[in-house]
Homo-oligomer: A and B are copies of this chain.
């Protein structure tokens, strides 16, 4: 029995395209690895030497200008795929935001395996197409939305992505939701193309307007999802 049988993302990651024996072969060329917050798995500009599946945790994909400004260009969650198969250099770094566990492969090994398993390539293609769609939608936010719209869009997206983690009983307040963000204020700013001060001001504005509550630095309670969605533009 391979370790994959116990993998929590077995049926959601690209591995879902493989049967038992194929999975064993893939398992043979991969290994799991833990990453601590702030630790990087891949650096911007280096040539692509490894790819991975996310098993647990949240990681950011980010690029920097020469003078140090950062833009987070993607955020990956369990079952997501990271890295750049089939040559080239990776255009962005990959860094853990939380404690994370990933299943890493040497890119060369993975490339060879993928070419022999079209069903895996198909899954990877579907995933990549979805990621491209999501990324392009984010460009509208970066290019055309105001700070208020960016913040609202961000909180709406986080609600969708983080799902029902720690949901309150939805009786008297059906759409009240509780989020624990995997981001610092600076990281939120780097996702939205804003400064940390602007993000902070938007948070306090939303709190003063009764749309959200901020019980702690990393937690947000959404009191009025409709108002938030309306502000998202």
Contacts and interface: CB of A to CB of B under 8 A. Distances in A.
A65 B233 contact: yes
A126 B142 CA distance: 26
B144 A69 contact: yes
Contacts of A63: 136-137, 139-140
A64, A125, A126, A139: which has the most chain B beta carbons within 10 Å? A139
- Give the oligomeric copy count: 2
B133 A122 contact: no
A73 B140 CA distance: 7
B133 A125 contact: no
Contact of A84 (B67, B133, B138, B233): B133
A214 interface: no
Contacts of A130: 88
Contacts of A145: 65
Interface string A126-155: 101111110111111011110000000000
Nearest to A139: B73
Contacts of A233: 65-67
A70 interface: yes
Interface of A: 61, 63-67, 69-71, 73-74, 84-86, 88, 91-92, 115, 118, 121-122, 124-126, 128-133, 135-140, 142-145, 192-193, 233
26 contacts: A65-B145, A66-B233, A70-B144, A71-B139, A71-B140, A71-B143, A71-B144, A73-B139, A73-B140, A84-B129, A86-B125, A86-B129, A88-B130, A88-B133, A91-B133, A118-B121, A125-B128, A132-B132, A135-B135, A135-B136, A135-B139, A139-B142, A142-B142, A142-B143, A142-B193, A144-B193
